[in-house]
Amino acid sequence: MIDTSENLIIIKGQIKTPEIESCQNYDSSYKIVFRNVPSTYTYKEENVLWLTDPDKPDPNTPSLKSKNQNKKNILTSLCFQK
């Protein structure tokens, strides 16, 4: 299973990481196996964005905001960059 704390996989604009069992890059395409699905799916490289090694800001930092509101009780914060 793909580690969602270290990987973010977006397929055709949709986050699919939690659904993916494995993902491998082969010659300008990705071979993806979804959880509970026995088939391997092939996607063109331009349809897949695979981000790894996120920054992990300190969750105790009080500057975490969403829609102009401070957020509390945050367990984990990950910042993936392209």
Q: What CA–CA distance (Å, rounded) separates 45 from 48?
A: 6
Distance (Å, rounded) from C-alpha 42 to C-alpha 73? 39
In this prediction, residue 81 carries a pLDDT of 72
pLDDT at position 80, please?
Answer: 75
Task: Classify residue 26 as exposed, middle or buried by CB count within 10 Å of its CB (0-12, 13-18, 19+).
Answer: exposed
Within 13-80, strands assigned E span: 14-15, 20-26, 29-34, 40-44, 48-52, 65-66, 69-70
Which pLDDT does position 32 carry in this prediction?
Answer: 96
Q: What is the pLDDT of residue 46?
A: 96
Whole-model pTM?
A: 0.74
pLDDT digits (tens, 9 = 90+) for 3-51: 888 999 999 999 999 999 999 999 899 999 999 998 999 999 999 999 9
- pLDDT value, residue 56: 74
Q: Are 20 and 32 in contact (CB under 8 A)?
A: yes
